[in-house]
Every structure is written in structure tokens, then in C-alpha cells.
Amino acid sequence: MNSTIILGLLGGLALFLYGMQMMSSGLESAAGNKMKEILEKLTANRFLGILVGAVITAAIQSSSATTVMVVGFVNSGMMSLNQAVWIIMGANIGTTITGQLIALDIGAMAPLIAFIGVALITFTKNPKVQYIGQIFAGLGILFIGMNMMSDSMMPLRDYPPFINIMTRFSNPVIGILAGMVFTAVIQSSSASVGILQALALSGVISLRNAAFVLFGQNIGTCITAILASIGTERSAKRTTIIHLMFNMIGTIIFTAVCLIFPITDYVADFSGANISRQIANMHTLFNITTSILLIPFGNQLAKLAVKILPEKEEEREYHKHLKYLKDVDTSVDATIGTSAIYMEGMRNEIARMLEMARVNVEKSFHAFLDGSSKALADVEKREEYIDYLNKQISKSISKMMIHETNEKNSKNIGSYFDMTGNIERIGDHAVNICDYTKQIEEHKIKFSADAIEEMEEMRDICALMFQNLQEKPKDTAQWLQIVHDSENFIDQRTEEFYERHLARIQRGECSDEACIIFSELLTDFERIGDHLWNIAKQMGKVIERG
């Protein structure tokens, strides 16, 4: 095997993978956000879920990308594990579209397709047209790479060592392992199937041997989702387990069928003489048949994933969920009983959200004063939970407003809506404060002793205002006055700290970076006070209404 073959193979592979990435990027840029919105709004209907998963994956040309999105949605609580099952099944069907495109055998037109795409990118300024050009250019480059790989591998048909390797794939275990490892390395089943088609077109591998490699490729594609689930919650990790189980079950079934029945001969008969189309059809048959077989057991797959990766006791509280509103049914007209239960649940949910914001503010100030970003991950994780609660409570509020007929309760619901928005913004300011620690660490920023003393006072004032706000008022008017005085005190101290800050700048006691960060910290400090006062005012209104 000479260097020309190796260089041709590597060059073709490079063009193929680049074309694949380019086409996928263009498709995702053209419709990616809409795809994500569709996934996020998905209902629990299994057939709709499979259809959406298949269509989105066919469009963006990557089951891995779809699965990674699903992992993210499950991790953020936007999608349940049961919904994820159907999307994953659909994604496995949709990913077969690339193999079918390659099987169209339009290699002779590839240079023209690439030229059209490059022309659209180069000579137009409209972003949407450029995205379309990117799709065409990627498709053309993909086929050019495919042709290069096929041509470079032609001499290998007569190369004994290579033939020896290929014949070993007749052993199902070796074939499956080879497909699995190769796909795991390049992290794209679509690309690895395309490369397998190029091998077959060169005459170095038969359909029967290619089938076992194909089954392994379906398992190998799970590696991307597995990598994406690192550092996520256990619910997201279970999504990758479902993805892995789906392909492993399909591989076991089809391997057994291939060993007992001449299924590859049947596929070859209805696919024609083109081995590239035979492989594409085998890939499609594998994923569609596996999905059909597992549709009745989708919920069982989700339960099995939970058993394989059970929730730890200490993680249950941190798993994103509505603790007090989950059992309230807003699909029926509100009655006195359901309204009372719902309003109490909403109060408790908001109180839980407020406590998370308090903890984040406290931890952010501590991290800032320590000059260490170690707490950043913990603060960001809690901030994600706050954002989740804000979104879910707001959804529940919207549903309740439709059915609530009591005027007092309607106004209270409006007050709760205002509270959640203010709590969410407090969480944002806490993250801002914690984010400054990255700059402090990176640039080794030092603050004067006076500045540190003022920061400590800011932390203590915020803690006191949270304490005043979270106390149950015996006298509402007096309680509101205490909280208002705290907010006024924050405004007053903000002005005083700013004046002192300017004086330090004039004396040359602050570096440029320290000046900017301290000014931004003052803004966050003052805004936290404003939002806490806004929350107190709405709480006061709810109490007054009784």
C-alpha cells in the first residue's frame, strides 16, 4: 500500500467530513432555533415525538446534535425522560437520510453543486441565501470527498493484508466493534456510514460484512451524547442510557436475524445492484424496525434507565422540579378549594425560589471577597434552578389566570407573577457578582483595605434586607417600612461608596480593572435592593387583600 493511496484516502476523508460539517452547520443556522423551539414545546404524544425527532435530525443531518439538544432539555427540566425516548427514536430514523443522499450517486454533479454553493456564499449578502449556499457547498464537497475515498481505495481490492482485515468483519463481534470504535472516534454515524459506503463501492467489503459494521456504528454514535451528559444531572445521563439501550437492542436483534436469515440478500434484492443504496437501505431498515419494535416499550425503557442510574438521596432536592404546584390541576375551572390549595402552593414555591436567590447572593459576595471562582459552578447551577422555577411558575400562573374567577385571587396571582420576575433578576445579579471573581483571578486584581471593608458592608446589608423580607410580618405597615428603610439605606450607601471610590481613583489607589469591577459591583448591589423592595411591595398587597 503506497503513500498515494493513504494521501488520497485522508484527503477524501477530510473533504467528506468537512462537507458534512458545512452542510450540517448551514442547515442548523437556517432553522436551528426553530428546531429547538419545536423540541422544547413537544407534547407527550409518542408518535408526534418520533416524527419531530426524525424531521429535525433529517434537517440538521446529525442524530448526535438532536440527542445533545434533548440531553440539554432534560437537564434543564424542559422535557421529561419519557418525552426524550420518542425524540431519540425519531433521531435514529432521521439520521439515515445522509446515507440515502449518498446512495443517489450524483458524484458526477458534485463539482457543479459545490460551485453553486460557493457562488451563493461569495456573491450574496443575504444571510439566509448564504446559509442555503453553505448547504449546497457542503453537499458538493461531501460527494467530492466520497469520490476521492472510493477512487483511492480501488487498488486495495487486490492488496492481501487489507483484504485479510476486511474478511475478518464476517465475524459479527469484530465487525460490530470496528464500527462502534470508528464512529465513536469521529463522533458521527452519518459520516461513518458514508465512509462504509465508500469502502463498499471500492469493492473491498461485502454487504453482509458491512451490515455488522453498520450495527456497531449505531452504538458508536452514542458517544457524543455520553460526552455531552458529563456534568449534567442524572436525569440527563439517563437520556444517554436510553439512546445506548435503543441501539444495543437493535444491534442484538439484527445480528441474530442476520445470522439466522439471509436478510442482507433480501435488502440487496429490493435495492438493486448499487451497494451504496443497499447499505443505506439496511441502515434505514435497522432504525425504523428497531423503533417500531420498541414503541410499545418506550416508557419501560425510561423506567429501566432510572433503575440503572437511580437518583441519589442527596440529589433529589437539587433535581429541578415544582415541589408544591405539581399536583394542582389547572385544566378545570377554579373552585374555592382548588384556588386555596393553588395559592398556598404558589406562595411556598416563590418562597423556595427567594431562598435560592438569597443563598446565591450570599455565596457570590463570599466568592468575590475571597477572589476565588470555585463557587461559580455552584452559583450557576442554582441560578439555572431559579430560571427553571421562574419559567414553570409563570406557566402555572398563566394557566391559573384563565380559570380564576375571583377578583382578589386574580390580583394576587398578578402579584406573584411580578415577584418571580424580580427574584429571577436578583439571581442574575448574584451571578454577575460571582463572575467578577474570574477576572480577579485571571488578572490578579487587588483591592484596597477600604474597598474590601465596603464590600463586606454591602454583603451584610444585603443579608439583613433578605432577613427582613423573609420574616413573617405581624404588622404589615411596620414590616414594609423596615424593608423600605433597608432599600433606602442601600441607595444611600451606594452613593457614599461611589464618592469614596472616586476619591480613591483620584489618589491613584485603584487599578483600572479594580475601578471597573467595583463600579459594576455597586450597580448590582443597588439593583438587588430595588428588586427586594419590589417583592416586598407585592407581598404587602397580597397580605392586604387577605
Confidence class for position 336, pLDDT limits 50, 70, 90: very low
* Grid cell in block for residue 390: 421562574
What pLDDT score does 394 carry? Answer: 87
10 Å CB burial of residue 327 (0-12, 13-18, 19+) is exposed
Looking up cell 465513536 gives 184
**Weakest mean pLDDT among 30-34, 48-52, 71-75, 318-322:** 30-34
Report how far Cα 399 is from the mean position of its chain's Cα atoms.
Answer: 26
Domain borders along the chain are 9-308, 336-545
* Grid cell in block for residue 28: 442548523
Sign of CA dihedral 30, 53, 78, 326: positive
Cβ atoms 174, 132 nearer than 8 A: no
| Helices (H), ranges, 104-233 | 110-123, 127-153, 160-167, 172-186, 189-201, 207-220, 222-228
SS3 at position 412? helix
Give per-residue pLDDT as tens, 279-306: 888 988 998 999 889 888 888 888 898 8
Superfamily of domain 336-545 in the CATH hierarchy: Phosphate transport system protein phou homolog 2; domain 2 (1.20.58.220)
Give per-residue pLDDT as tens, 241-288: 888 898 899 999 999 998 888 888 888 888 888 888 888 889 889 989
- Cα(146)–Cα(53) distance, rounded to whole angstroms? 27
Sign of CA dihedral 136, 140, 146, 149: negative
What are the DSSP calls for 425-466, one per residue? HHHHHHHHHHHHHHHHHHHT----HHHHHHHHHHHHHHHHHH
pTM: 0.58
